[in-house]
């Protein structure tokens, strides 16, 4: 994957500058020179925005902060800051940049994780786009920025204009809380709101486009730009690896679907191998694999039976006019219930049960938690027409899985580790959407639609001699298998230490043979395991961390990078608490000092988390 660097700031006279090294040939540079040399500042800004939009669509390059000439030298370029958990906020940020460029307004784009916080007081206009993770928490990449802005060190921001867009999931109690935090805090610090905060749910695309248009109109009116509006058309897709995106996934062959837990395990964990041959797709250790899936035919039939809707009726979907059965199978979310479904059914039918449930928000969240659409309908049977059912459902969303392989070692494959979600609701057996599709209903030779979701905040150290500490219980082992493969394939000499945990040694030791091989060959320096239910007293990875506190702190002093992958609601918090205790004890710091030390490690990229 070609990785872009920070763009050099340049003037009209020396726009080419010394932008080396370059991925372009001499002929391409000469052609680019001919095209751009006579352009005005406004034309250069439009071109920058147009290219940003193409890059956002292609999805295989980093967003970079750019600075281009302004039509009004007194106006500083607007800043678009994003905090993204699954790439959606990043996508909207680059799309906004492109839309602004189309009307002659150049804008800078930056991830909150890499933005220099102290620079905020010198900005004139800031547009914040942020997801909310878990129970009202900022995304991983936005956490330090959020902590700083909410803290005592945040500056007076009088003179700053701002707008906030939130992305969330209404199934959670603290829907879009991070966006609310940013919005209220910026106002409290003296900044002026350009537009009212907008909060979007999982089905966000149409509303996001409307918001982008509103932002463009507002900034255009403020800048006094006379540039004509231009709608970017992106109907032609390049015939390259960049063509395979979330919106246009690669249809790949499933090579291996192997259960890697024992027969008596309470978990069904699958090692999945997928061919990327001919795709041109590239990835790095730490990236995620996006998987599109189809809903189980039995689940579709159950919903049709309960509602009495005609499966052959034609309805509208994201792919145009298709039968209801096809839409339920391929385009609508069925395996995750959400409050919006209940409120929409209440609105469409006037059913008193759905209206009553909709009116009590706390009860509504409880009612949809760990339920599927069929479970809501079974508990409250209601007749729906095909159009009503389609109108109440939201579009299907792909799932992301940590990549468990190194492309250096396996150039035409991508691996991942999938725990098949299975549970029962009132006696009805249920499976997870993507995990059931790829783990239970797909066999080698079948096809699966995939794309790569880069994760630039979960990367191996650039220096191969740097030691790494990896903490990944359960399927959190996946990216660390990729890390170890990469270090083995590249001959990295740095020490490595893995902490792995699961319920039982005999049934749940994922990738045991591979890990023992890495240990025997020195690719893995230390391996500590915690099998929580193999003894009367439960032992977890955080307990193993505390037991090795002295040596762990020595590794940290020697420059080790720390990585955590897995459950973010419990495990990651418990591990963070253990690290705080270790740092506090070994460094002789109070809790606040230990927190500052870990924050410094995070800011420098030495403490990274990939949690879900």
Q: What does the pLDDT look like over 358-413, one tens digit per residue? A: 998 888 988 998 999 999 999 999 999 999 999 999 999 999 999 999 999 999 99
pLDDT at 31 (0 to 100): 54
Band (pLDDT 50/70/90 cuts) for residue 34 is: low
pLDDT at 38 over 90: no
Q: What is the pLDDT of residue 414?
A: 98
pLDDT value at residue 39? 53
Q: Give the confidence band of 185 by pLDDT, cuts at 50, 70, 90.
A: very high
Span 252-270, pLDDT tens digits: 999 999 999 999 999 999 9
SS3 assignment, position 83: strand
Fold category of 241-293+398-453 in CATH: Elongation Factor Tu (Ef-tu); domain 3 (2.40.30)
99 close to 280: Cβ distance less than 8 angstroms: no
What rounded mean pLDDT belongs to the chain?
A: 87
Q: What is the model's pLDDT at position 459?
A: 97
Domain ranges in the chain with CATH number 3.40.50.80: 468-611
Per-residue confidence band for 12, with pLDDT thresholds at 50, 70 and 90: very low
| Mean pLDDT of the region 179-200 | 97
User: Which residues in the chain are classed under CATH 2.40.30.10?
Assistant: 241-293+398-453
Residues near 153 by Cβ (< 8 Å), separated by ≥ 6? none
Average pLDDT over residues 488-514: 97
- Report whether CATH 3.40.50.80 matches the domain 468-611: yes
- The arrangement of secondary structure in 297-392, i.e. its CATH architecture, is Up-down Bundle (1.20)
pTM above 0.85, yes or no: no
Res 71: pLDDT? 42
Could you give the residue range(s) of every CATH 1.20.990.10 domain in the chain? 297-392
Q: pLDDT grade, residue 41 (50/70/90)?
A: very low
pLDDT for 375 equals 97
pLDDT of 347 above 50: yes
**Would strands 413-419 and 269-275 be described as parallel, antiparallel, or unpaired?**
antiparallel
> Of all residues in the chain, what percent carry a pLDDT higher than 70?
85
CATH class of 37-223: alpha beta
pLDDT of residue 58: 44
Q: Which of 391, 374, 560 is nearest to 461 (CA)?
A: 560
- Which of 210, 212, 194 lies closest to 124 in space, CA to CA? 194
- Name the least confident of 40-44, 332-336, 447-451, 496-500: 40-44
Beta-carbon contacts of 100 under 8 Å, excluding residues fewer than 6 positions away, are 49, 78, 106, 107, 215, 216, 219
The CA dihedral of 70, 73, 75, 78, to the nearest 10 degrees, is 30
pLDDT of residue 517: 98
């Amino acid at each position: 994957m070609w990785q872009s660097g920070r763009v050099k700031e340049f003037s009209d006279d020396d726009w080419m500058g010394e932008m080396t090294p370059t991925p372009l040939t001499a002929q391409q540079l000469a052609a680019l020179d001919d095209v751009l040399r006579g352009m005005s500042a406004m034309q250069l800004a439009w071109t920058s925005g147009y290219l940003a939009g193409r890059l956002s669509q292609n999805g295989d390059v980093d967003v970079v902060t750019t600075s281009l000439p302004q039509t009004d030298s007194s106006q500083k370029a607007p800043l678009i800051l994003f905090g993204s958990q699954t790439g959606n906020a990043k996508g909207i940020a680059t799309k906004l940049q492109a839309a602004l460029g189309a009307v002659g307004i150049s804008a800078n784009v930056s991830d909150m994780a890499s933005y220099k916080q102290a620079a905020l007081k010198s900005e004139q206009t800031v547009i914040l786009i942020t997801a909310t993770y878990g129970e009202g928490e900022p995304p991983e990449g936005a956490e330090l920025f959020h902590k700083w802005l909410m803290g005592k060190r945040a500056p007076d921001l009088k003179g700053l204009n701002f707008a906030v867009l939130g992305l969330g999931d209404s199934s959670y109690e603290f829907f879009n809380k991070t966006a609310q935090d940013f919005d209220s805090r910026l106002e409290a610090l003296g900044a002026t709101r350009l537009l009212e905060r907008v909060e979007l749910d999982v089905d966000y695309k149409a509303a996001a486009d409307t918001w982008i248009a509103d932002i463009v109109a507002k900034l255009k009116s403020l800048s006094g730009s006379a540039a004509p509006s231009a709608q970017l058309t992106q109907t032609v897709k390049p015939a390259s690896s960049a063509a395979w995106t979330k919106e246009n996934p690669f249809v790949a062959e499933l090579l291996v679907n192997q259960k890697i837990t024992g027969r008596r395990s309470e978990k069904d964990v699958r090692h999945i191998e997928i061919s990327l041959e001919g795709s041109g797709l590239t990835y790095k250790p730490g990236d995620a694999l996006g998987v599109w899936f189809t809903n189980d035919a039995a689940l579709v039939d159950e919903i049709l039976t309960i509602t009495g809707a005609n499966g052959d009726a034609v309805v509208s979907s994201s792919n145009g006019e298709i039968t209801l059965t096809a839409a339920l199978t391929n385009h609508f979310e069925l395996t995750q219930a959400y409050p919006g479904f209940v409120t929409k059914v209440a609105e469409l039918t006037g059913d008193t049960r759905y209206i009553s449930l909709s009116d009590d928000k706390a009860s509504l969240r409880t009612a949809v938690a760990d339920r599927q659409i069929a479970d809501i309908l079974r508990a409250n049977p209601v007749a729906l027409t095909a159009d009503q059912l389609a109108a109440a459902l939201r579009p299907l969303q792909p799932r992301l899985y940590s990549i468990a392989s190194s492309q250096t070692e396996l150039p035409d494959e991508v691996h991942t580790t999938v725990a098949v979600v299975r549970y029962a609701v009132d006696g009805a057996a249920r499976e997870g959407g993507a995990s059931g599709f790829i783990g239970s209903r797909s066999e080698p030779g079948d096809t699966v639609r995939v794309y790569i979701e880069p994760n630039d905040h979960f990367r191996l150290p650039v220096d191969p001699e740097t030691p790494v500490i990896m903490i990944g219980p359960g399927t959190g082992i996946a990216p660390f298998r990729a890390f170890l493969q990469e270090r083995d394939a590249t001959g990295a000499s740095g020490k490595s230490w893995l902490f792995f945990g699961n319920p039982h040694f005999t049934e749940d030791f994922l990738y045991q043979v591979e890990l023992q091989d890495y240990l025997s060959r020195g690719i893995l320096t230390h391996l500590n395991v915690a099998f929580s239910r193999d003894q009367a007293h439960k032992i977890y990875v955080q307990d193993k961390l505390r037991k090795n506190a002295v040596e762990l702190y020595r590794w940290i002093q020697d420059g080790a990078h720390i990585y955590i992958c897995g459950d973010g609601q419990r495990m990651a918090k418990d591990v963070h608490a253990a690290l705080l205790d270790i740092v506090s004890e070994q460094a002789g710091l109070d809790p606040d000092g230990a927190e500052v030390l870990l924050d410094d490690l995070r800011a420098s990229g030495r403490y990274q988390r990939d949690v879900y």
